[in-house]
Amino acid sequence: MKPGRPGDPDFDERRAKVRDKLEGLAGAKGGDERQDWFARVYREAGNDPAMVPWADLAAKPQLVSWLEENPGNGEAAIDVACGLGDNAEAIAEAGYYTIAFDMSEDAVRWAIQRFPSSQVEYRVNDLFDLPSDWDGAFALVHECFTIQALQGELREKAFPAIASLVAPGGVLVVIGWVGASADHTGPPWPLTEAEMGRFESLGLERIETLEFEAVRAGGKVIPHQMVVFSRPD
């Protein structure tokens, strides 16, 4: 793996350089080839995480803080569309038996390679074709930045697919960009408050909302939320 992490000048330069190339590939702006675009980003990255624009190489701090308050004791957790695995590793370290899946074989291979002593069970799975025994099976479900990366029919299907994983008495933690300025064009396509509310119409109850800001390259400040839902017993 090439050296560096976000914030290192050389890493940031490599990431900035690849942006135009990735934005020019089929599926970059949505449409039928969107799923293939993700797979291609990982495949063509050549093991350099600077080539994967969303790879922070660290778990989300808001998730880490939540896990400190809500540690596991062997309960089953799942990280939806896990990318390079940092969030899944934090969940496992907090005491949950953790499955993490992504549809990209290269992402899953790379996550396993990055964390050779991992306790996480990494899997190649499609959010839209989940194993039937995952239905209602997880005490903790974590989703970060996947819904906002999808559009149209796939996005519509993402809400019930993610909600289906939550066990009775379990919780869903959703992290994403919520609320966009009028002139914003995706991707990503930020969630609306109404979309966040869709999890409530799928039988979950909102129990916590944390608003925070993420600062992107160029100093752009972006409103985010971490919302925690629970499924009644």
* Closer to ligand SAM by Cβ: residue 150 or 204: 150
Q: What are phi and psi of 221, to 5 degrees?
A: -100, 125
Q: Is 133 left (phi over 0), alpha (psi -120 to 50) or beta?
A: alpha
Q: Does 146 bind ligand SAM (CB under 6 A)?
A: yes
205-214 LR contacts (CB < 8 Å, sep 24+): 205/229, 205/230, 205/231, 205/232, 207/171, 210/62, 212/62, 214/177
* Closer to ligand SAM by Cβ: residue 33 or 169: 33
Stretch that binds ligand SAM, among 3-11, 144-152, 177-185, 220-228 (CB under 6 A): 144-152
Element spanning 124, H or E: strand 121-124
Which residues inside 72-111 make contact with ligand SAM, applying CB under 6 A? 81-83, 87, 102-104, 107
Stretch that binds ligand SAM, among 120-128, 162-170, 204-212, 225-233 (CB under 6 A): 120-128
Smallest gap from residue 200 Cβ to ligand SAM (A): 22
* Closer to ligand SAM by Cβ: residue 171 or 173: 173
* Closer to ligand SAM by Cβ: residue 35 or 151: 35
- Residues 165 and 80 sit within 8 Å (Cβ to Cβ): yes
What is the total count of residues that contact ligand SAM (CB under 6 A)?
18
